[in-house]
Amino acid sequence: MTTSKETDWMNHPRLRKIVMEINELTVAERMTVLKGIIPSIADELSDAEYDEFARGIRLKGERFHEAQSHPGEGRRGRKVPGERDVEGR
């Protein structure tokens, strides 16, 4: 979870606490929590915004797997774009 000028308004300590607590659950339980909040997210987004959100989630996982398979190499050598690259930050 990162902070930026785009997310300064968020209550980051509260979000980190929630994420830490959720990460204590089993993977099946975490997937269930994620599936449980998807409908409320989809309800508040347009189809295009939801597509962008879903692509972002997939990209986050791909980026994580790539980083794990290339430890210590840093961002420059990776092929999967990061959030900053996608968002133009």
Is 39 part of a structural domain of the chain?
A: yes
Is 88 part of a structural domain of the chain?
A: no
What whole-number distance in Å separates Cα of residue 58 and Cα of residue 86? 13
Is 80 part of a structural domain of the chain?
A: no
How many domains is the chain partitioned into structurally?
A: 1
Is 89 part of a structural domain of the chain?
A: no
Biggest CA pair distance of the chain? 40
Q: What is the pLDDT at residue 9? A: 84
Taking residues 2-28, report their average pLDDT.
88
pTM here?
0.68
Q: What is the pLDDT at residue 84? A: 57
Domain range holding 42?
Answer: 12-71
**How is 27-59 classified by DSSP, letter by letter?**
HHHHHHHHHHHHHHHHHHS-HHHHHHHHHHHHH
Chain centroid offset of residue 38 CA: 13
Is 45 part of a structural domain of the chain?
A: yes
Is 79 part of a structural domain of the chain?
A: no
Is 42 part of a structural domain of the chain?
A: yes
- pLDDT tens for 19-72 read 999 999 999 999 999 999 999 999 999 999 999 999 989 988 888 888 888 777
Residue 80 has pLDDT above 70, yes or no: no
Is 18 part of a structural domain of the chain?
A: yes
What whole-number distance in Å separates Cα of residue 84 and Cα of residue 40? 26
